[in-house]
């Protein structure tokens, strides 16, 4: 992390959204930089939510697989009738 909030300015450059020269030439306003940072924050949040949903789906699938194994094991016992 850079000091004095410089990371806020450099983050869009690091992520390939703008060239560093756009900052040096002042062709970008602070508002532009803030909008890009908000976009990057939202994108990161959405990826984290999607990852959490995928993990939950995998956990649910693993539970179902476990249930199916138990059900199949029980169905292999001979009937008492």
Q: Provide the pLDDT for residue 65.
A: 67
The per-residue DSSP string of 16-74 comes to TSS-HHHHHTT-S-HHHHHHHHHHHHHHHHHHHHHHHHHHHHHHHHHHHHHHHHHHHHH
Who wins on pLDDT, 81 or 70?
70
pLDDT confidence tier of residue 69, bands split at 50, 70 and 90: low
Who wins on pLDDT, 55 or 12?
12
Who wins on pLDDT, 13 or 72?
13
pTM of the predicted model as reported, rounded to 2 decimal places = 0.65
Q: Mean pLDDT throughout 3-9? A: 84
pLDDT tens, position by position, 71-80: 666 666 666 6
Answer whether 70's CB lies under 8 Å from 46's CB.
Answer: no
């Amino acid at each position: 992390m850079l000091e004095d909030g410089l990371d806020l300015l450099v983050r869009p450059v690091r992520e390939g959204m703008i060239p560093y020269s756009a900052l040096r030439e002042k062709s970008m306003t602070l508002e532009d930089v803030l909008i890009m940072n908000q976009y990057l924050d939202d994108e990161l949040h959405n990826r984290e939510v999607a990852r959490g949903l995928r993990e939950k789906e995998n956990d649910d699938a693993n539970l179902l697989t476990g249930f199916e194994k138990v059900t199949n094991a029980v169905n292999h016992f001979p009937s008492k009738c």
